[in-house]
Amino acid sequence: MAERILLVEDEEKLARMVELELKYEGYRVEKAFDGRSGLEQARSGAFDLVLLDIMLPQLSGMEVLRRLRRESQIPVIMLTARDSVVDKVSGLDSGADDYITKPFAIEELLARIRAALRNKGCRDGQLLTAGELAMDVERHQVTVKGKGVELTKKEFDLLRHLLENKGRVLSREALLDSVWGFDFVGETNSVDVYIRFLRSKLDEAFGLKLIHTVRGVGYVIKEE
């Protein structure tokens, strides 16, 4: 079934171009040209994802997002004309799933849409697994051989990212970028530190070998 995307964007030319590209990819698309009608449509429950411009007439994208989040966890990708850290921080603080800076390449937008929809699938109760390890993303629970494992938020996020990319080797830089993001302050060896925590709580505690080091490249989680 085609996923439904709501595009809230007051620049009509850009909106039309994005709409065409999304339809070409097989998505169903509706448009709104101001914040107020965008919020109204987003609330209808008829969509799988919202692309939300920040600078909008009537209600700003940030305000739309804030009001929408009181009642809905629908994935929202913010479109921002300004590559400003402040916008990104307040957008993510208000519950945006991702953001993209205009002008953007359509391929990048499509990749972010796919990622946000994939994460939604996880939130909707999908189980991520590797061998005897299972992660229930929605309930924020991790079990090994049926036994619960306590993880900190960062450990959970890192493990989730590894599981979502099971079998793919991820570099330290890629992990830092995806798990810690732009608000990261500290040393790049944080990844190694948290991998050690995960290994001790998972592999060592249960006698498994799930998290592998690929020397000079990074880490991968795979089944034995």
Nearest residue to 79 via CA among 17, 123, 122 = 17
Is residue 53 part of the contact set for Ca ion (CB under 5 A)?
yes
CA 145 to chain centre: 28
Is residue 55 part of the contact set for Ca ion (CB under 5 A)?
yes
Nearest residue to 75 via CA among 109, 52, 44, 54 = 52
CA 172 to chain centre: 18
Is residue 100 part of the contact set for Ca ion (CB under 5 A)?
no
Q: How far is the CB of 52 from Ca ion (least distance, A)?
A: 10
Is residue 10 part of the contact set for Ca ion (CB under 5 A)?
yes
Q: How far is the CB of 57 from Ca ion (least distance, A)?
A: 8
Q: Which is nearer to Ca ion, 35 or 218 (CB)?
A: 35
Q: Which of residues 117-176 bind Ca ion (CB under 5 A)?
A: none
Q: How far is the CB of 7 from Ca ion (least distance, A)?
A: 12
Residues sharing a CB contact under 8 Å with residue 139, sequence separation 6 or more, in sequence order: none
Q: Which is nearer to Ca ion, 51 or 113 (CB)?
A: 51
Tell me the residue type at 38.
G
Which range, of 47-55, 144-152, 206-214, 215-223, touches Ca ion by CB under 5 A? 47-55
Structure tokens belonging to residue 79: 């479109």
Integer Rg of the chain from CA = 19
Kindly list the residues in this chain that would bind Ca ion in the complex (CB under 5 A): 10, 53, 55
